[in-house]
Amino acid sequence: MFTRKTASTRVNSNRDWWREDGDPDLSSGLHQPAEFIDDIIRFVGLSDGLQEEVLRASWQQLVGSYVASGSFPDSLKKGTLTIRVTQSTMRFHLEQMKIGLLAKLKASPGGDKIQALRFTLG
C-alpha cells in the first residue's frame, strides 16, 4: 500500500498541482440549485402553473357544461392559453366565441396572465 514516502510524495504533488497547502476545497465554485430554480421556471414558462390549476378547477363555470364537456385548458405559456378540444366542430365553435371567451377568462381569478387563446385538437 502507501508508505510514508509515497504518501508524502502524493501530498507534495497535490500541493504543487493545486499551488496551495493542504487539500483543495472541492466545493469552491459550486452553486446550490436553489439559486437557479426561479430563473429556470420563468425561462421554461412554468411560472403560470398555479393559474393553470385554478383555471382547470373553474373551467366548467366559465364556459358552461356543453363547452366544458368537449374542451379543457391544457397549458398556459407566455400568456397564451392552449385549449385542447375533442372535435373539430367544437374547435370551430370556440373560434367563433374567442373574443367573448377571452374577455371572460381575463375577468376570472388569475386571468390577468392570459393574453391570447389557442385551440388544438386532441
CA nearest to 23, candidates 39, 11, 36: 11
88, part of any domain: yes
Instruction: Extract the C-alpha cell encoding 19.
Output: 499551488
pLDDT at 1: 53
CATH of the domain at 59: 3.30.300
Instruction: Extract the C-alpha cell encoding 28.
Output: 469552491
Q: How many CB atoms lie within 10 A of CB 103?
A: 10
pLDDT at 92: 93
32, part of any domain: no
109, part of any domain: yes
The total number of residues shown for the chain amounts to 122
99, part of any domain: yes
Q: Give how many domains the chain has, as a whole number.
A: 1
5, part of any domain: no
Q: Does 8 score more than 90 pLDDT?
A: no
10, part of any domain: no
Going through the chain in order, the beta strands assigned E by DSSP cover 71-77, 80-85, 116-121
Domain span holding position 113: 41-121
Q: Which one of 39-43, 55-59, 103-107, 111-115 scores highest in mean pLDDT?
A: 103-107
CA atoms within 13 A on the CB side of 15: 8
